[in-house]
């Protein structure tokens, strides 16, 4: 019974170790991007170099280790990601993942990891927008190695122009509403002006006009009705009929 329990525990630990290394998560330090690897029985710098398609000596240098002294079981090593083994333009190979943090988008993630384009990130992860939830595991590139399981992403990257058009659609709707409101304001009838009554003319009875003449009589009547003030002057003339 004890042997069965130990065998089960050993198999469980082995499966957990394999599962932990199946998802290659990208990390970063002052030397650059890297993967973490826990050394298994029978592995060496040379074996790890073949597995991750990288120079064995570069692994030793990245970890500040003596290449000639070798490595030991359960030792944690950092596997450098370089231009030679890390592909961020294609669509096949062993996927390298990144776990999104709070308030990050595909744009900010792409700028942080070698300026990989958001279009490629959407393509590899089957996303339609640049928004991403926290703790989402995203494919950010591939390693080409015959010793690692590979995947192939179908399709092609979506063009940036299409995404921009989708994001700008609500703005167009708002613009249409503003134009409609402007048209409604312009269609309102302007306030009507009241017509001013024409000035009344003084009625004159020509039968009562004096003999001196019409103009003299009219002038005298005007003075009686609207006397001249101090600030006004009157120029009079003699009219003969």
Evaluate if residue 87 carries a pLDDT over 90: yes
Alpha carbon 128 to chain centroid, angstroms: 13
Band of pLDDT at residue 226, cut at 50, 70 and 90: low
Residue 182 has what pLDDT? 63
Residue 86 has what pLDDT? 96
Angle at 230 between CA 225 and CA 233, to 5 degrees: 75
Residue 4 has what pLDDT? 47
13-82 placed in CATH 3.10.350.10: yes
Q: Quick: pLDDT tens for 96-138.
A: 999 999 999 999 999 999 999 999 999 999 999 999 999 999 9
Evaluate if residue 181 carries a pLDDT over 80: no
Q: What is the C-alpha to C-alpha distance for residues 127 and 108, in angstroms, rounded to an integer?
A: 15
Contact criterion met (CB below 8 Å) for 59 and 77: yes
Evaluate if residue 222 carries a pLDDT over 90: no
Residue 158 has what pLDDT? 77
Average pLDDT, the chain: 77
Alpha carbon 20 to chain centroid, angstroms: 34
Residue 225 has what pLDDT? 58
* Domain spans of the chain, in order of start: 13-82, 85-170
| 0.75 exceeded by pTM | no
Q: Quick: pLDDT tens for 127-144.
A: 999 999 999 999 999 999
Band of pLDDT at residue 220, cut at 50, 70 and 90: low
Neighbours of 173 (CB within 10 A): 9
Contact criterion met (CB below 8 Å) for 39 and 73: yes
Contact criterion met (CB below 8 Å) for 142 and 94: yes
Tokens describing residue 22: 């199946």
């Amino acid at each position: 019974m004890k042997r069965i329990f130990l065998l089960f525990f050993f198999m469980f630990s082995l499966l957990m170790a394999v599962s932990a290394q199946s998802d290659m998560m990208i990390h970063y330090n002052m030397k650059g991007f890297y993967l973490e690897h826990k050394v298994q029985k029978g592995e060496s710098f040379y074996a790890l170099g073949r597995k991750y398609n990288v120079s064995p000596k570069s692994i030793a240098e990245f970890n500040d280790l003596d290449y000639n002294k070798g490595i030991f079981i359960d030792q944690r090593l950092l596997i450098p990601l370089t231009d030679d083994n890390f592909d961020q333009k294609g669509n096949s190979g062993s996927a390298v993942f990144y776990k999104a943090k709070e308030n990050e988008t595909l744009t900010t993630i792409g700028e942080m990891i070698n300026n990989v384009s958001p279009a490629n990130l959407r393509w590899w992860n089957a996303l339609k927008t640049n928004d991403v939830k926290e703790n989402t595991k995203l494919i950010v590139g591939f390693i080409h190695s015959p010793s690692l399981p590979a995947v192939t992403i179908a399709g092609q990257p979506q063009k940036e122009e299409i995404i921009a058009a989708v994001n700008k659609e609500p703005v167009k709707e708002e613009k249409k509403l503003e134009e409609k409101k402007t048209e409604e304001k312009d269609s309102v009838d302007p306030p009507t002006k009241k017509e001013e009554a024409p000035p009344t003319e003084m009625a004159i009875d020509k039968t009562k006009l004096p003999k001196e003449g019409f103009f003299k009589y009219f002038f005298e009547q005007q003075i009686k009705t609207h006397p001249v003030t101090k600030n006004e002057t009157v120029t009079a003339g003699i009219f003969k009929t």
